[in-house]
Structure 1
Amino acid sequence: MSESHSEQLLAQVAALPPLPGVYRYFDAQDGVLYVGKARNLKKRVSSYFQKNHGGTRIGHMIGKIARLETTVVRSEAEALLLENNLIKRLNPRYNILFRDDKSYPYLKITGSPDQPGLASTSADGRPSAPTAAQFPRMAYYRGAVDRRHRYFGPYPSAWAVKESIQLLQKVFRLRTCEDTVFANRTRPCLLYQIKRCSGPCVNLVSGPDYQRDVENAEAFLHGETHAVLAELEQRMMQHADRLEFEQAAELRNQMSALSKVLHQQSVETISDKDVDILAVRVQGGRACVNLAMVRGGRHLGDRAYFPSHVEDASAVQDFDDSSEQQECTPVEVQVLEAFIAQHYLDVPVPACLITSHPVGQELTSALSQQKGMKIATVHNPREQRRVWLEMAEKNAEIQLARLLAEEGSQQARTRALVEALDLAPDNLDTFRVECFDVSHTAGESTQASCVVFHHHKMQNSEYRRYNIDGITPGDDYAAMRQVLMRRYGKMAEAGRDPPEATPRGGGAQRLPDLVLVDGGKGQVSMAREVFAELGLDLAVIVGVEKGEGRKVGLEELVFADGRDKVYLGRDSAALMLVAQIRDEAHRFAITGMRARRAKVRVGGSRLEEIPGIGAKKRARLLQRFGGVRGVAAAGVDDIAGVEGISRELAEEIYRALH
């Protein structure tokens, strides 16, 4: 195998030190193939080049290696953390990769616990006007946390946060209104009427009483439910002893609501407060990791994650492990360890992880070192933990079965389309479709979209929008001609396939196997004209013509190479795929057109973008004409009448805004 590699690469491998570190393999196009860690770089990397691996997955990867980079670190823990940081950043082809998901939501209570709410009475003892700072509010929050407020979570979903907010409203009656709303209330809102808020905006609750409710809500979120109930009971008895029966009744109702919530939420009396439960299932070359969260003793729900590159990565990882271990690591353990290492790099981790498979001590040690706290993993748990794990395992199994069914359905649709159009792609998995649509409003802000389908799914990162200019407003045919020329013109000029439509413009692409045009004979004729002019294959062009009454399911396919129209049938899997791609192109074009139109209507050619217009001149113009629209509606003479605006500059402003 080493005979196919350069002497420079082999010399670099031979010169590696016997120290812990991380290595990266690159192919000839400088794409990252694999990121790995080693306690002995020289021994680990050399093992790749000392054997002939034949036609195996590891053999294919090694055959592509053109360049090597290494980083020496101080310990295995540092190597593990650096490895997974690089995996998330570089997206290597042969590593198990969990793509970044949206950030987790939190429940936020405004204000710092070190700065409790102020008293709501003035110096002379009379009630003062309440301010938002005195009465913290609950809110749904997603983003980076800070020390100015209190954050609880993270939660697995927005639904879990909102459910918790509703729960706290019922029991502790904390406010959820925005500070601006709070500052302008003169009478209680509906939430006060239905006993979901204590009415701090109009002084219906004192500052100290509201602060106690905030503290009890925090204690509840931390899982200290029994302490909260005991404190409420004590306060109720004190009011009763002082014959303050109305206040005692309020606290009794609060205790009743809390007890009811605890019963509904099935909060357990075990010691676990914050725990994450991780279950993995692998089948058919795909994997699912189901993450369930327990916070404050309450099971908040779960979220499923589906890694990519499982088959390729597991083959390389097996080889990687076998060089330093007696036996290969099961793929389930590989997936689970990859998830833990990548997921918790940027997310808070609880002190206990319950896992469906045992994970390495090296991983938990590295995680503990990074987070500055002791993190334990538990395999084969008992009692309530066992119930949680079984729930997570069942959900992982269900989610993986759903994914496989969806992917199988998409593959069947791709195959049906290929057969219906009598195409012969080299590989069904790489069968590529590009679909174009044009959108405008009475000729305004014309924009064309191109959406891409391959590997049996829509590829959002490869979508493109094209602003259409220099045509008669409303001329869809001219717009289609322009977008096709811009999309495929450079490829025809170079006499080769176009560069791949990737987010960064890297890689290489081929001509699509199918070019869908949203429209009938007219649009197809225009596409045929463009392809004939560029010398491209006309057979790949297909128009999607709406059927009688423009009803869904009655569409017909129109061909540029002269074949007769084809009606696939309302229940055709091929038509379902065509409709899916066509509708996505339509959606993408409309959203882009609307955004462009909105930008133009609020001053797309903004005053600050015009040379010679500074802050003072801009302020004078806006003050004189009442906004950008007013400036745009003014004539050159009117604009020149503004202090500091010359005739030449007025003409320039007029041109820019028209």
Structure 2
Amino acid sequence: MNADGVRERAGSLPREPGVYQFRADGTTLYVGKAVELRSRVRSYADPRSARIGRMVDRADEIEIAVTDTETQALLLEANLIKRHQPRYNVRLKDDKSYPMVQVTSHEAPRIEITRDPDTGAQSASSGSGPTVFGPYTNKGHVETVVKALRETYGIRGCSDHKYAGRDRPCLDYEMGLCTAPCTREIDLESYREDVTAVERFFEGETGILADPLRREMEAAAQKQQFERAANLRDRLETIEAFHGAGGEAVQSVSDERTVDVLGVAIEGDDATVARLRAERGKLVDRDRHTLEAPGAGPARAGSDSDGGVSAVLAAFIVQYYAERDLPDALLLPERHGDDEVEAWLETEGISVRVPGAGREATLVDLALKNARRNVGGRDECAMLADALDLESARRIEGFDVSHAQGNAAVGSNVTFVEGSAEKSDYRRKKLTDENDDYANMRALLEWRARRAVEGRDDRPDPDLLLIDGGEGQLEAAREALAEVDWDVPAIALAKAEERVITPDRQFSWPSDAPHLHLLQRVRDESHRFAVQYHQTIRDEITTVLDDVPGVGPETRTRLLGRFGSVENIREASLEDIESVPGIGEKTATTIKSRL
């Protein structure tokens, strides 16, 4: 559409507020809002940036929607951007992939990590229903914290189905992970007090968990249980860093009940907005959100914004808060520069401040650090897709096999999303015992492909399959994919030289290449998961414990039940082994020496 076409279309538009869409072949390229549709659309006849100029050239129609008020136009714009994901808008990506912690509303609440909270789940500040905390960006840290909370307070993690109808405690009780409210080993009133303590931790009271762990660590050190003390020290560091710095600054943030602090970092066409939330003077939540921000540097056509950070802030505020409750105050690193957004926030009674010094400025600095730590963090997926000429490499599945001269053969199938392990989507497969890596890999991939093609796998198809091995393993995998007719790209990563092998060529990328590091993480995790499962299967068949004097079948079962595998027994301290019923100091010493 040329300039004359834009002017002609604009001349027929009303002088009212509304939303306009530039479209091409039925696809929305750009969505904008306007106080007056005619003058705003006419401004695109002379675009203020090359990017917007390219958008106008591509467009073949302009569609409008008139609204009663400017605020309605603002919110309609946000909804249309979310629905159509137009290429030329700054747009907020969905944040549902981040893990959250949920405490259920059961008579004996359970704690769980989830990406899909129960319907009706409430925020941390609510007083009823399931309670969710987060989202968080590091699932590994969340898992460490939840396990430590369960060990300290005994909160159950089992499903409601397993909870109901029990007549004796399960293994979690024996392992000190649950106080067994199911069989009333603890009364419900005392149990709910422990649940309250757990919720206080997620609300920002780190000492609820850190203090008992520190005492336990010091006691272990005094008993010269140095391995256990070191483990507790590492866990304590994770817990103390979980809520991060900034708590002191929050205590003096003002008298508003809720305050959100935003920080922005931009790299190329990607931006990250870090959000910190303070409620009643406590830092209770922090998260980061990725936005696609094409041309965030240049100003937007028809906007009073200077572009860059201000454009990202304006887009984020509308798209994020259009579906959420607004805080009482927003602290920003700079003005967002959007008149319509400003009018909307004023109408809602929201205080917007750009602090220059003091406690509030400290919080903004913290938000900026959080944003800068994340920006570009997902670029490795895009870099990998570009290097392999793929549309996307957001979702990768890794495969490996493990066996001992053909015995206890197993296969692993791990999943990474946006560069992070998605452990809920891990799968494993017991294979027919065969001392042939190629045949084992072929069987593993055929199993995965058939489940996908027949609709028996509830996971979405990946963008890429990564095989742990060389050309032989890759060829075996591709034969299985072809036989089942599952059309998903597959590559291999050979460990010796870290060569990336595709059906057409091989790559030797620099050792510091981010996209190589991504493949290495997937490969190493698939290898670890396969070896772990192989050890479990092997332990079920025979173990070196069978030859240890004083260790009979019952003791062997208790050891494996307590530690999970021979490898874990090997890493356990003497004191931990002695804690298993029926094992004394002499037998524990013998076990350690044999392993």
Normalising TM by the smaller chain, what interval?
0.5 to 0.7
State which of 108, 112, 118 in structure 2 corresponds to 1:135: 108
Mapped contact 2:204–2:283 kept (Cα < 8 A): no
The Cα of 1:340 is off from its aligned counterpart by: 1.9
3-state secondary structure, aligned to 1:441? helix
Mapped contact 2:108–2:181 kept (Cα < 8 A): yes
The Cα of 1:20 is off from its aligned counterpart by: 0.5
Q: Which residue of 2 aligns with 1:20?
A: 17
State which of 247, 266, 269 in structure 2 corresponds to 1:282: 266
The Cα of 1:56 is off from its aligned counterpart by: 2.8
Q: Which residue of 2 aligns with 1:201?
A: 182
The Cα of 1:97 is off from its aligned counterpart by: 1.7
The reply to whether residue 342 of structure 1 matches residue 339 of structure 2 is no
Number of residue equivalences: 418
Mapped contact 1:99–1:307 kept (Cα < 8 A): yes
1:240-271 deviation line (CA, Å, top 9, x unaligned): xxxxxxxxxxxxxxxxx9xx999998755546
The reply to whether residue 64 of structure 1 matches residue 64 of structure 2 is no
The reply to whether residue 366 of structure 1 matches residue 360 of structure 2 is no
Inter-partner Cα distance in structure 1 for 2:519 and 2:159: 41
Inter-partner Cα distance in structure 2 for 1:67 and 1:198: 65
1:72-121 deviation line (CA, Å, top 9, x unaligned): 1111111111101111111212111222232555443333xxxxxxxxxx
Structure 1 segment 222-233 matched on structure 2, within 5 A:
none
Mapped contact 1:350–1:375 kept (Cα < 8 A): yes
Mapped contact 2:261–2:363 kept (Cα < 8 A): yes
Q: Structure 1 pair 401/314, CA: closer, same or farther in 2 (3 Å)? A: closer
Q: Which residue of 2 aligns with 1:648?
A: none
Mapped contact 1:156–1:300 kept (Cα < 8 A): no
State which of 120, 127, 130 in structure 2 corresponds to 1:146: 120
Q: Which residue of 2 aligns with 1:78?
A: 72
The reply to whether residue 183 of structure 1 matches residue 167 of structure 2 is no
The reply to whether residue 441 of structure 1 matches residue 410 of structure 2 is no
The reply to whether residue 394 of structure 1 matches residue 369 of structure 2 is yes
Q: Structure 1 pair 161/40, CA: closer, same or farther in 2 (3 Å)? A: same
Which amino acid in the other structure matches residue 357 of structure 1? E
Structure 1 segment 259-658 matched on structure 2, within 5 A:
268=248, 269-270=251-252, 274-284=258-268, 286-294=270-278, 299=283, 302-311=286-295, 315=298, 317=300, 319-321=301-303, 325=304, 328-347=305-324, 349-359=326-336, 360=338, 362-363=340-341, 366=344, 374-380=349-355, 383-400=358-375, 406=380, 414=387, 441=443, 553=498
Q: Structure 1 pair 202/364, CA: closer, same or farther in 2 (3 Å)? A: farther
1:472-506 deviation line (CA, Å, top 9, x unaligned): xx99999898999x99xxxxxxxxxxxxx9xxxxx
Q: Which residue of 1 aligns with 2:218?
A: none
Inter-partner Cα distance in structure 2 for 1:281 and 1:26: 30
Unpaired runs of at least 5, structure 1: 112-132, 229-256, 418-427, 450-459, 465-473, 488-500, 502-515, 519-543, 560-565, 588-658
Q: Which residue of 2 aligns with 1:47?
A: 43
Unpaired runs of at least 5, structure 2: 122-127, 209-235, 394-398, 400-437, 452-460, 466-474, 527-595
The reply to whether residue 38 of structure 1 matches residue 34 of structure 2 is yes
Mapped contact 2:33–2:77 kept (Cα < 8 A): yes
Inter-partner Cα distance in structure 2 for 1:571 and 1:263: 33
Mapped contact 1:108–1:149 kept (Cα < 8 A): no
3-state secondary structure, aligned to 1:35? strand
Cα RMSD, aligned residues only: 5.6
3-state secondary structure, aligned to 1:71? strand
The Cα of 1:343 is off from its aligned counterpart by: 2.3
Q: Structure 1 pair 365/184, CA: closer, same or farther in 2 (3 Å)? A: farther
Q: Structure 1 pair 63/462, CA: closer, same or farther in 2 (3 Å)? A: farther
Mapped contact 2:154–2:178 kept (Cα < 8 A): yes
3-state secondary structure, aligned to 2:291? coil
Q: Structure 1 pair 481/551, CA: closer, same or farther in 2 (3 Å)? A: same
> Share of identical aligned residues, percent?
25
After TM superposition, the score normalised by the length of structure 2 is 0.54
Inter-partner Cα distance in structure 2 for 1:224 and 1:557: 50
Q: Structure 1 pair 348/481, CA: closer, same or farther in 2 (3 Å)? A: same
The Cα of 1:184 is off from its aligned counterpart by: 4.6
Which amino acid in the other structure matches residue 150 of structure 1? P
Q: Structure 1 pair 194/315, CA: closer, same or farther in 2 (3 Å)? A: same
Mapped contact 2:258–2:328 kept (Cα < 8 A): yes
Inter-partner Cα distance in structure 1 for 2:392 and 2:158: 52
Which amino acid in the other structure matches residue 335 of structure 2? P
Inter-partner Cα distance in structure 1 for 2:257 and 2:75: 27
Q: Which residue of 1 aligns with 2:216?
A: none
Inter-partner Cα distance in structure 2 for 1:81 and 1:264: 32
Which amino acid in the other structure matches residue 98 of structure 1? L
